[in-house]
Structure 1
Amino acid sequence: MEQSSSYNKETIQHQFDRKCKLALQGEKIDYERHLSYRQKHEILFCELSKTEFWKLSTVDEYTAESYFLADEQFDVKIKNELLAKAIETLTERKKEVIFLSYFQGMSDAAIARKLNLVRSTVCEHRTRSLELLKNTMEEYGYENYR
């Protein structure tokens, strides 16, 4: 009798071991299937191109970091403090030409028609304004880095 009870225990243990091994094999197959799916459908951030990466990202913009220049015609948001200060130093006519040219994207001819000026005058205003902006920004920049 003792032999059969020992035989039954051994048989039950073998059956249990077999079931455990089958369960682990099934888990292994499921895990490998999951890894294969992830490999086909997921991409690491380091493998993305810069354009793809920037499509997925966002940049917070805070109004405290922006400067608003406004008058009767324009309401412009400028992110660079140095540029905003430099634009403030321009005369109204020069500001108008810069705003129309760079913020509205108008050509010199279109600006001339709008402001009743000669196109060469608009070009001259724009050129001198850019020179003034450059000089002013260099001065402000130099003062800020002392």
Structure 2
Amino acid sequence: MFKTHKSTEVGFYGLFGESQHWRLVERNLFRPWFCVTLVQDDDGLDLQNTLMPADVQMLVEILNQQGDGLIVTDVLVMMPAWMTQSDRWTLERLVELRSRDDPDCDPVYFFVLENGSIFPDSGHADGHILSMSEINDAQIIYQRKQKG
């Protein structure tokens, strides 16, 4: 979830409808979040928007709303350092998002990146990068469409 502060609100009241606008959002959970590019057909004019879902559930809601003039064209995943075994957050293009039920807890999600790396969103992989053969039985939630 993202947190906003009243002092960073931008006063566009009424100019862009009923929405609120912020110059800053805060994230204090060290969990992956997404940057989703979508195109909406508005009477023959393609409007491109970027959404930032805070979790997989919100991403799935956006993906399920596709159809009749609304298409997700790209998904980036922002992964915390613990997930990639690095010293910083990492933003990468998502090629696939997969899910597998874990008998001990919530579903485990697997993030397949454009560079071929696969990272789980839990400590179940003991810090090693997974291979596709290790997640073949996981359900595909999102798969990037190939261009051309």
TM-score class, shorter: under 0.3
| Higher-strand-fraction structure | 2
Higher relative contact order (Cα pairs below 8 Å, separated by 6+ residues): 2
Q: Normalising to structure 2: TM-score of the pair?
A: 0.22
Q: Normalising to structure 1: TM-score of the pair?
A: 0.22
| Higher-helix-fraction structure | 1
